[in-house]
Amino acid sequence: MAWYTTLDEKVSSYLPDLKWLHDEPLSRHTSFRIGGPARRMALPHCCEQIVLLMGLLDEAGIRPLLLGNGTNLLVSDAGVDTVVIKTGELLGAIERSGETELKAEAGVSLARLATFAWKQGLTGLEFAHGIPGSLGGGVVMNAGAYGAELKDVLTEVVALFPDGVRTLKPEELQLSYRHSIFSEQEEAVVLRATVQLARGDSAAIKARMDELMQKRKASQPLEWPSAGSTFKRPAGNFAGALIEKSHLKGTRIGGAEVSRKHAGFVINTGEATCADVLALIDRVQQTVLRDSGILLEPEVKIICSDKTGGF
Domain 3-86 indexed as CATH 3.30.43.10 = yes
Name the residue ranges covered by the structural domains of the chain: 3-86, 94-217, 233-295
pLDDT at 136: 94
Question: Would you call 166 a catalytic residue per the annotation?
Answer: no
pLDDT band at 307 (very low <50, low <70, confident <90, very high): very low
Question: Position 1: which residue type?
Answer: M
* pLDDT higher than 50, residue 165: yes
- Closest by CA position to 174, among listed 154, 194, 160: 154
Q: 111 near 67, Cβ under 8 Å?
A: no
Active-site pick, 101, 187, 244, 299: 299
How far apart, in whole angstroms, are the C-alpha atoms of residue 62 and residue 10? 13
Q: pLDDT class for 5, splitting at 50, 70, 90?
A: very high
Selected catalytic residue, list 40, 178, 246, 259: 178
pLDDT confidence of residue 291: 98
Residue 107, pLDDT score: 94
Confidence (pLDDT) at 139: 96
What is the band of 306 on the pLDDT scale with cuts at 50, 70, 90?
Answer: very low
| CATH topology for the 233-295 domain | 3.90.78
Residues 6+ apart with CB under 8 A from 36: 25, 26, 27, 75, 76, 77, 78, 79, 80
- Which one of 229, 246, 257, 259 is the catalytic residue? 229
By the 8 A CB rule, do 32 and 278 touch? no
Assess whether 271 carries a catalytic annotation.
no
pLDDT band of residue 310 (cuts 50, 70, 90) is very low
Active site residue 246: no
**What is the fold of 94-217?**
3.30.465
pLDDT tens for 9-21 read 999 999 999 999 9
Spatial distance between the Cα atoms of 38 and 101, rounded to a whole number of angstroms: 37
- 258 neighbors 266 (Cβ within 8 angstroms): yes
